[in-house]
Each structure stands twice: as structure tokens, then as C-alpha cells.
Amino acid sequence: MFKKPEKSPWGEVQHCDPLCPGVFMVTTPGHGGILVSKEIAAALSPAARKGGFRQGGYLCFEEDTQEHIVLRELLDKKLWNIPDRIRDRAAFEDAINKSLREHNPDYWRARQTGIERAALRRAVPTAAHHAER
């Protein structure tokens, strides 16, 4: 369904690792990152979409600081699992979170606010729910 990209904003793709349908981690001779197809980009949070840039039909996230946004989103949405080759998955996930707090604080705050709001909605029944009873 989704074709692996041959070119990226960072140059000719040397290696392409599909993370899930429509999401590709790519490397080039000099750099790399994650390319998210426009169809899948619509499933990312608004805060995540702000972290990327559009080029060649993809939402692009460079490898140094932006790709962690995509990894966090895919983990949260259960669209990707940390690969088995990563022995300490908790440390890997902690490293993603630390990078986000340092390099993408606006994204991190938006994510945390969303998590807190969702927890509050689960914990406190709405007035409409009480009215149904």
C-alpha cells in the first residue's frame, strides 16, 4: 500500500526501515530521519505535526531531535513497538522522553496536558453521565 521512499529531504535514501504502514525511518549518506505519509500524518496529534516539515508528500522529522516526536506518538498510539534488539526498553523510552523535554518542550507540554485531561475524564464522571442515571 505505501511505497518506500527513494529520496528524502536529506538526500538519496540508503536504508529505509518501515516503522508501521506509511512511516519510514530513513538514512542517507549524510543524515536521516522519519518520513510520515500524509495519510498517516493526519493521525498524529496537532502538536506532533507542528514538529515536522512537509516535503515530497511526507511530513518529515529530522533524526537529531525531531524523530523522537514520531516515536513517542507511535508508542502512545500502539502503532509501533520498541524493537527486540533494544535490550533495555524502559531506558530507551526514557531517552525518548528526555530528548522531547529538552528539545521539544512545546510538544512535551501538549502531550502531558492531553494525558492529564484524559485521566481526569476517566476519573471524574461528566454531568451528562450523571443525568442519564
Which residues are 24's β-sheet partners? 18, 35
Distance (Å, whole) CA 54 – CA 52:
7
- The number of beta carbons lying within 10 Å of the beta carbon of residue 126 is 9
33 and 51 Cβ atoms separated by less than 8 Å: no
The average confidence (pLDDT) of the chain is 92
Cβ atoms 107, 47 nearer than 8 A: yes
Kindly give the confidence (pLDDT) of every residue in the chain, 133 residues in length, as a single tens digit, with 9 standing for 90 and above.
788 999 999 999 999 999 999 999 999 998 999 999 999 999 999 999 999 999 999 999 999 989 999 999 999 999 999 999 999 999 999 999 999 999 999 999 999 998 888 888 888 865 545 555 5
How many Å apart are CA 92 and CA 90, to the nearest integer? 5
| Domain ranges across the chain | 7-127
- What confidence tens digit (pLDDT) does each residue in 80-116 have? 999 999 999 999 999 999 999 999 999 999 999 988 8
**CA distance linking residue 80 with residue 19, whole number of Å:** 6
